[in-house]
Amino acid sequence: MKKPVLLLAAFLCLVGTAGCPAEDTPGAVSEDAGVGGAGAAGLAGSAGTAGSAPAEGGVGGAAGAISPCSGLPGPAMAEVVASSNVRYCVDSTEVTQAQYDEFLKHVSWAAGTEDARCGANGSYAPDVHLIDPYEPKGCGLGCWTPDLTPNHPAVCIDWCDAVAYCKWAGKRLCGKIGGGEGALAAVNDPSTSQWHYACTNGGATVFPYGPTYVDGACNAFSPDLPDADVIGSAQDVGSFPQCKGTGSPYSSIFDMSGSVEEWTDECEWTKTPNGEYLRCASRGGDYLALPQQVACTSHAGSGTGMTDALIGFRCCKEAE
């Protein structure tokens, strides 16, 4: 259903006004689906340092207390208490281009050493190259411009790159509540998935802001609005004020629906005639996605080496 806008999106990406489009599979795991600087003031923090908390509560823990998840590079974090009474923290927005660029300038270890599953990762640099404007997937020139769009989500990076950034920032890619890897088959279980628990306000809602889709609440394609013929594009993180959870701490967590899909550490090994490969989840839909594709349940499963202009990430951390 996205086909009418894909060609225009690819062209806009090449001229630097929009991300490169990609196709996804809403609400289900597919073989190769993959649609998938500092943030908005008070949301994402400055590159390399934790930012100030949003006006609403939820970031930094209880008033007067110092959160174990404060003072870290990247977006400010919201502290969540899961139903199992396990505390963890979630980035308030997706990691931005400026923040990821800061990581590229300061990371001190070699690519491929960030995780035992990432030995084949040869570089952390975004996979940006000149592409055919009619190519429906990929990362073209203009999709990674941290000097021009520092507050846009970091994109065109693979799963291992996201793992490496979170490790560098003293965090981890969101996975299983209580620590460790999550399972691709359990991505929509709020009792085990850090990302899903945060997106659904502890398992209570279908979208971050409530039980039903609201046109324009998040950065997604809006077929029912009068300007539906206008293609969506990448925007600064946190720039859709309604695109957040309900009540503290969820009201301090933005853009889990739409914007760009987000890599998570929820994976499975998939057998092929040529051997096994690791597939991991990208979640929440993107700015070209339709309503059913931006629910908290929406996800795709892709190989860890895939990059896309519509996939970014955020980090989590156990609240030790």
pLDDT at 55 over 90: no
> pLDDT tens digits, residue range 224-233?
665 545 567 8
Q: Tell me, what CATH number does 19's domain have?
A: 3.90.1580
State the amino acid at position 29 in one-letter form.
Answer: V
Would you state the pLDDT for residue 157? Answer: 95
Record the pTM: 0.81
Give the structural domain span for 123. Answer: 1-320
- Residue 193 has a pLDDT of 98
Most confident segment among 119-123, 133-137, 219-223, 227-231? 119-123
pLDDT at 38: 36
Q: Based on the structure, what is the number of domains in the chain? A: 1
Q: What pLDDT shows up at residue 224?
A: 66
Which amino acid does the sequence have at 258?
A: G
Q: What is the model's pLDDT at position 230?
A: 53
**pLDDT tens, 131-170?**
655 544 567 777 899 999 999 999 999 999 999 999 999 9
Q: What is the DSSP string of 266-290?
A: EEEEEEETTEEEEEEEEES--TT--
Q: Is residue 50 predicted with pLDDT exceeding 60? A: no
Confidence of residue 53 (pLDDT cuts 50, 70, 90): very low
At residue 177 the predicted structure's pLDDT band, cuts being 50, 70 and 90, is very high
**Segment 179-201, tens digit of pLDDT:** 999 999 999 999 999 999 999 99
Q: What is the CA radius of gyration of the chain?
A: 18
Instruction: Output the six-digit token pair for 203.
Output: 């398992």
Q: Calculate the alpha carbon distances from 79 to 50, 54, 269 in Å.
A: 14, 13, 31
3-class SS at 171? Answer: coil
- Comparing 56-60, 133-137, 269-273, the range with the smallest average pLDDT is 56-60
CB 229 within 8 A of CB 219: no
**28 C-beta neighbours (distance < 10 Å), count:** 12
pLDDT higher than threshold 80 for residue 46:
no
